[in-house]
């Protein structure tokens, strides 16, 4: 039985083989324990590359921009103002005295003013 060469096996492990060749290698590996052993060894080596452990300290993310915070503050402030305005309006409506006038009151004639009396001239007053 012809064994798979090292380059082809590495390409298979790296998943860089195109489909016809990939299938051929897969079929061979299912039958050949020697090549399967080599494949496992290669896989272990390749995985060790991916598992390199860097000392990456926990770092805080950059601060969110002030613009969005400021806009959130403005929105909150506007909401509080709106709620206050609506509540104030309702309260004033509830507590205000009711000043209703009837039709009879509206049609009643205005009171007649007293006749204006002309004052006597100063010469007429006998002091």
Partner 1 sequence: MNEDWEQLELARAGDETAWRMLFQRHYGPLVKMTSCIVGLVDPARDIVQECFVRLLHCKIKHRDGTFRSFLSTMAYRLALKEKGRRNTNRRIGDLDVIDDAPSPLEEAIRNENDRRIVRVIQSLPDHHREIVALRFFSGHSYEEIAVITGIPIGTVKSRIFHAIKSCKVKLQERETSL
Nearest Cα to Cα of residue 25 among 2, 48, 42, 47? 2
Binding of partner 1 at residue 101 (CB under 8 A)?
A: no
Is 22 near partner 1 (CB under 8 A)? no
Interface of this chain with partner 1, residues 54 to 83, rule: CB under 8 A: 54-56, 59, 61-62, 64-65, 68-69, 71-72
Taking the complex as a whole, the smallest distance from the CB of residue 11 to partner 1 amounts, in Å, to 6
For residue 93, the tally of other CB atoms under 10 A from its CB is 8
Q: Which residue in 40, 46, 86, 90 binds partner 1 (CB under 8 A)? A: 46
Taking the least distance from each CB to partner 1, the nearer of 14 and 81 is 14
| Angstrom distance (rounded) from CA 37 to CA 29 | 9
Asked whether 9 and 38 are in contact (CB, 8 A), the reply is yes
Per CB under 8 A, 19 contacts partner 1: no
Query: CB-based contacts of 35: which residues, under 8 Å, 6+ apart?
Result: 3, 4, 9, 28, 29
Beta carbon of residue 37, minimum distance to partner 1 (angstroms, whole number): 16
| Closest-CA residue to 46 (of 16, 20, 24, 18) | 16
What residue ranges bind partner 1 (CB under 8 A)? 7, 10-11, 14-16, 45-46, 48-56, 59, 61-62, 64-65, 68-69, 71-72
């Amino acid at each position: 039985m012809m064994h798979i060469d090292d380059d082809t096996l590495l390409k298979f492990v790296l998943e860089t083989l195109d489909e016809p060749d990939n299938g051929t290698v897969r079929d061979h590996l299912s039958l050949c324990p020697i090549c399967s052993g080599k494949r496992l060894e290669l896989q272990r080596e390749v995985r060790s590359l991916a598992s390199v452990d860097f000392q990456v300290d926990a770092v805080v993310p950059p601060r969110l921009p002030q613009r969005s915070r400021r806009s959130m503050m403005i929105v909150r402030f506007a909401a509080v103002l709106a709620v206050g305005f609506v509540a104030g309006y309702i309260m004033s409506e509830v507590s205000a005295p009711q000043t209703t006038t009837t039709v009879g009151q509206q049609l009643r004639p205005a009171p007649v003013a007293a006749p204006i009396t002309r004052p006597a001239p100063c010469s007429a007053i006998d002091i």
